[in-house]
Amino acid sequence: MKVRIIRDECVSCGTCVDTCPDFFELGEEDTLSQVVERYRNDGKRDEGSVPPDLEEAVREAADLCPVQVILLE
Ligand code: SF4
10 in contact with ligand 1, CB cutoff 6 A: yes
- Ligand 1 center–CA 38 separation, angstroms: 19
Residue 2: predicted pLDDT = 98
The angle formed by the CA atoms of residues 39, 43 and 47, to the nearest 5 degrees, is 60
pLDDT tens digits, 22-43? 999 999 999 999 999 999 999 9
Q: What domains can be seen in the chain, in order of their start residue?
A: 2-72 (3.30.70.20)
Q: For residue 9, name the pLDDT band (cuts at 50, 70, 90).
A: very high
The Cβ of residue 43 has, within 10 Å, a number of other Cβ atoms equal to 8
Residue 70: predicted pLDDT = 98
| Spatial contact of 14 and 66, defined as CB atoms under 8 Å apart | no
What is the CB-side half-sphere exposure of residue 47 using CA atoms within 13 A? 5
pTM exceeds 0.85: yes
11/17 Cα distance (integer angstroms): 13
pLDDT tens digits, 54-66? 999 999 999 999 9
19 in contact with ligand 1, CB cutoff 6 A: no
